[in-house]
Amino acid sequence: MFPALTMQFTDSHAHLADDKVFPDVEGVVARATAAGVTAIVSVATGTDDARTCIQLAERFPGVYATAGIHPHRAAEYDEDAIRDIRLLLDDARVVAVGETGLDYHYDFSPRDVQRASFARHLELSRETGKPTIVHSREADEDMRALLREAGQGTVGVLHSFSSGRALLEEAMAMGWYVSFSGMVTFKKYEGADFVRMVPADRILVETDTPYLAPVPHRGKQNEPAFVSHTAARCAELRGEDPAEFAARTVENARRFYSLR
Ligand SMILES: [Zn+2]
């Protein structure tokens, strides 16, 4: 009847606790709900906003939290912080470890500290059985090495994927997931092959709110309601039916994050 209205989505990665988003979080969640977004994973960048994410998960049905230290903030990583994160991971509303990873583009934290923090987060994932959310930018070689050395026995997602083929193949061989963001809608997007390479049961979509708003909202502040544009573009690139693809990404996110 009205398939566009009944389509459902999950935003597998949004920063609802971000200063730019939080003041209007009520509106952001309401607009997402109106757009068919039935689940939003609100991703932490440190122990402070992990607590805010948990409060949001308490406040809004369909919102879930994570706990971890973003590579930009890896300088904050020490055993005290890890102990905090480990305690937060005991909360049922916290569905993943992260986001963690490596960012050699900005280098906001020393690279050796980023690597140590990331390896420690992978240990937490193994210990708790909760998956890891991984940010990787211009660090393909070290990321592959760390996945091989420290990623065994865990499952994770390479989020807002913008890396190269070898890293994608490594992650696929390990049974990991890959999440695509609004970048896939950009005119000069060069990763179409990568969108097609990910098996149907391991692809996710996300906004990475407040960053990287998809076309036709490019330049605006991103929000979970816009995830439909990313899902539609991924479906188009893969030659799949948009409604079926959207439903599959909802199911993949539910399985990956053990959402209920
Ligand atoms: Zn993020």
| Domain interval for residue 24 | 7-257
Residue 1 lies in a domain: no
Distance from the alpha carbon of residue 14 to the mean position of ligand 1, in angstroms:
6
- Per the CB < 8 A criterion, the answer to whether 201 and 172 are in contact is no
Kindly give the distance from the C-alpha atom of residue 45 to the centroid of ligand 1, in angstroms, as a whole number.
8
End-to-end CA distance of the chain: 28
Mean pLDDT of the chain: 96
Query: Which CATH number characterizes residue 29's domain?
Result: 3.20.20.140
CA distance 115 to 94: 23
Mean pLDDT throughout 6-20?
96
> Is 176 domain-assigned?
yes
Q: How far, in Å, from the CA of 52 to the mean position of ligand 1? A: 15
Number of domains in the chain: 1
pLDDT, one tens digit per residue, over 74-96 is: 999 999 999 999 999 999 999 99
Cα separation of 133 and 60, whole Å?
22
The answer as to whether 36 is a domain residue is: yes
**Distance in Å, CA 210 to ligand 1 centroid:** 9
Dist. CA 132 → ligand 1 center (Å):
12
Q: Is residue 2 part of a domain?
A: no
DSSP structure string for 185-244: GSTT---HHHHHHS-GGGEEE---BTS-PPTTSTTSPP-GGGHHHHHHHHHHHHT--HHH
Q: Say how many Å lie between the CA of residue 207 and the centre of ligand 1.
A: 9
Report the separation in Å between the CA atom of 1 and the middle of ligand 1, taken as the mean of its atom positions: 36
Residue 180 lies in a domain: yes
For the segment 122-176, what is each residue's pLDDT rounded down to a tens digit? Answer: 999 999 999 999 999 999 999 999 999 999 999 999 999 999 999 999 999 999 9
Q: Is residue 201 part of a domain?
A: yes
Environment of ion ligand 1 (residues, CB < 5 A): 208
Residue 3 has pLDDT above 90, yes or no: no
Residue 135 lies in a domain: yes
Q: How far is the CA of 196 from the centre of ligand 1 (A)?
A: 23
